[in-house]
Chain A
Amino acid sequence: QVQLVESGGGLVKPGGSLRLSCAASGFTFSDYYMSWIRQAPGKGLEWVSYISSSSSYTNYADSVKGRFTISRDNAKNSLYLQMNSLRAEDTAVYYCASIITIFGVVMDYMDVWGKGTTVTVSS
């Protein structure tokens, strides 16, 4: 079945780095735009970044621009988020999600989500 599984979360000190991964299965990964969404403890959702199906286009929230890098490997059906210069406010559950495409149109909404991986930034 269609599935996204995140990994790579953990405890890191402020200023440190982490690389999140998301393994996709059950669908043609290379056909879909993909995104990272995060949710701080007890808070709402924040769209962090997204990447086009061929990696030609990426975009970032201002809060992470210059510190985070999204990438993908379509041969490995995998999505990544390299997070550098981490701050306490980056503490959150990070979800990988696929962006829906309807009749060939990318709709910028997420229909398949992973269960999330927790990132904690603390000294």
Chain B
Amino acid sequence: EIVLTQSPATLSLSPGERATLSCRASQSVSSYLAWYQQKPGQAPRLLIYDASNRATGIPARFSGSGSGTDFTLTISSLEPEDFAVYYCQQRSNWPFAFGGGTKVEIK
């Protein structure tokens, strides 16, 4: 079973700053990794699929990179609506696990 470890657990930043979130897999998932954003009381929203492809309607400030075991979600300049929890998810092997999440909070 593949385990996804996200770091840091919490990221404290100000609007306009750059956010860099990490997701590490316990074994290679190739490029089969997605990123989701979840705000309190809401369902998750798909941001990035297959490591680097933005989902429909996702702003260009969100970008994903990586392959194998190490992946990064970058938010180039934080907008007020970007403060949320972010999860990675792999689809390489069942069970399609999620990471534990990174909370991006306002500093």
- Asked whether A and B interact, the reply is yes
Please list the residues of chain A having a beta carbon within 8 angstroms of any beta carbon in chain B.
37, 44-47, 59, 61-62, 95, 97, 100, 107-111, 113-116
Between-chain CB contacts (< 8 Å), 19 pairs: A37-B44, A44-B99, A44-B100, A45-B98, A47-B95, A47-B96, A47-B98, A59-B94, A62-B95, A95-B43, A97-B43, A100-B49, A107-B49, A107-B91, A108-B96, A109-B89, A110-B36, A110-B46, A114-B43
Contact with A along B41-79 (1 / 0, CB 8 A): 011111001100001100000000000000000000000
The closest CB in chain B to the CB of A46 belongs to B98
Tally of B interface residues using CB under 8 Å: 24
Q: Is the interface of A mostly helix, strand, loop or mixed?
A: strand
Known A-B contacts A107-B50, A109-B49, A111-B55; the reply to A45 vs B44 at CB < 8 A is yes
Give the number of residue pairs across the A-B interface with Cβ within 8 Å: 51
Q: Are B91 and A116 in contact (CB under 8 A)?
A: no
Beyond known contacts A61-B95, A110-B46, A114-B43: 13 more, CB 8 A cutoff? A37-B44, A44-B100, A44-B101, A45-B36, A62-B95, A108-B32, A108-B96, A109-B91, A110-B36, A111-B46, A111-B55, A113-B45, A115-B43
Q: What is the bound-complex CA distance between A61 and B96, given in angstroms? A: 9
**Chain A contacts for B34, CB-based, 8 A:** 109
**Chain B contacts for A59, CB-based, 8 A:** 94
Q: Are B95 and A113 in contact (CB under 8 A)?
A: no
**Chain B contacts for A47, CB-based, 8 A:** 89, 95-98
